[in-house]
């Protein structure tokens, strides 16, 4: 019997560049892996997405400009699940930040600030004086890393910081909205 192909499950912004997505999925298939992120996003999508993530041999975050600029509650839930699976099971997480190709995709880090990889630093403020703004990846690097079964790819800690900063900003904004719509009641 043929051995099962390693499964790759991904998180990405739905409006990401289609040429980049096509290149990534081609690389996954060329590496002999199964792309498991083909499903319809219905009301119960997260249950199905989570099941596939738990069954995956590799988790892939397409940390594109669209992901960064359109970070939503759905991407936040997926990020939380990826982190949980990685911490519990040690499932490899690949953070793919595509290199900018003029005319093809948006420039990376659209706020112009480099992301720091050091675990003790804030997202864009490095205590050690150096920051990580490169390298960005080509889709072929995903394929090469999958073929070699490399246990990690990309700036995992910068992605975690990004998600935490976005989550904190969202909860702060939600609290401000709730306070603004709650009528003052005199005692």
pLDDT given at position 53: 97
Confidence class for position 100, pLDDT limits 50, 70, 90: low
Pairing of strands 58-62, 34-35: unpaired
Secondary-structure breakdown of the chain: helix, strand, coil percentages, each rounded to the nearest 5:
45, 10, 45
Confidence label for 18 from pLDDT (cuts 50, 70 and 90): confident
Helices (H) and strands (E) in the chain, counts: 6, 4
pTM exceeds 0.85, yes or no = no
How do 58-62 and 93-96 pair as beta strands?
parallel
Q: Is 166 left (phi over 0), alpha (psi -120 to 50) or beta?
A: alpha
Q: Reply yes or no on whether the pLDDT at 131 is more than 50.
A: no
Mean pLDDT of 82-89: 97
Q: What is the pLDDT of residues 20-51, one digit of tens each?
A: 899 999 999 999 999 999 866 777 889 999 99
Question: Which residues make Cβ contacts (< 8 Å) with residue 62, sequence separation at least 6?
Answer: 10, 11, 12, 13, 16, 20, 21, 24, 96, 98
pLDDT band at 14 (very low <50, low <70, confident <90, very high): confident
**pLDDT(129) > 60:** no
Query: Which has more pLDDT, 72 or 43?
Result: 72
pLDDT for 96 equals: 93
């Amino acid at each position: 019997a043929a051995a099962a192909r390693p499964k790759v499950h991904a998180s990405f912004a739905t409006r990401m560049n289609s040429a980049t997505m096509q290149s990534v999925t081609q690389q996954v298939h060329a590496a002999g892996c199964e792309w498991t992120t083909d499903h319809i996003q219905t009301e119960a999508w997260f249950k199905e997405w989570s099941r596939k993530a738990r069954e995956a041999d590799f988790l892939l975050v397409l940390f594109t400009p669209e992901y960064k600029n359109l970070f939503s509650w759905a991407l936040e839930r997926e990020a939380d699940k990826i982190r949980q699976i990685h911490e519990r099971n040690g499932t490899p997480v690949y953070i793919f930040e595509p290199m900018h190709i003029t005319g093809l995709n948006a420039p990376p880090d659209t706020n112009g600030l480099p992301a720091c990889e050091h675990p003790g630093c804030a997202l864009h403020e490095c205590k050690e004086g150096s920051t990580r703004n490169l390298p960005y990846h080509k889709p072929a690097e995903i394929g090469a890393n999958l073929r070699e079964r490399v246990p990690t790819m990309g700036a995992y800690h910068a992605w975690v910081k990004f998600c935490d900063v976005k989550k904190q900003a969202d909860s702060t904004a939600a609290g401000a909205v709730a306070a603004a719509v709650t009528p003052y009641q005199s005692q």
